Amino acid sequence: MPRPTKWRCVSFMPQITYFKPAGVPLRLLKEVCLSVEEAEAIRLKDLEGLEQEECAQRMHISRPTFHRVLGSARKKVAESLINGKAIRIDGGNFEMAPIPFRCLNSGHQGDMPAKTMTAIPHSEQIENRMLDLELKEG
């Protein structure tokens, strides 16, 4: 019996999770499902340009595991592009990475679970990258 899949740490949740070839009706399309951690692997390696060791550390997995996740993701993207399939980003074994923060009033610093951070009222004096982006968009 295989070992259970270890949860992977993900720092970014894509807002757009479905991509399809232009001009092809949905009913005629086959789709490829890319897991959230596969999308994260592509983001870290191909978009951020990090070395595999750093990517693996950020996702809290071994380098060989990261290599397998990245290989699977790239194969799915290639299959979609070459064969005209849609890509759906969904599911997987992941948890959101804690978000570092610093309170502007007290100076307290720490990490907060991502779910908690998004629930903080906008009036709170907390400085961090994610909240700054939310405030600019909202």
15 and 83 inside one domain: yes
Range(s) of the domain holding residue 82: 8-95
Task: Encode pLDDT of 82-103 as tens digits.
Answer: 999 999 999 888 888 776 767 7
pTM: predicted TM-score of the whole model, two decimal places: 0.70
Task: Encode pLDDT of 40-74 as tens digits.
Answer: 999 999 999 999 999 999 999 999 999 999 999 99
74 and 30 inside one domain: yes
Domain count of the fold of the chain? 2
Name residues whose C-beta falls within 8 Å of residue 44's C-beta, 6 or more positions apart in sequence.
50, 54, 55, 58, 59
Residue holding tokens 């923060």?
101
Instruction: Give the Cα separation of 80 and 96 in Å (integer).
Output: 27
Amino acid identity for residue 19 in this structure: F
Residue 26 forms part of a structural domain: yes
88 and 105 inside one domain: no
Residue 1 forms part of a structural domain: no
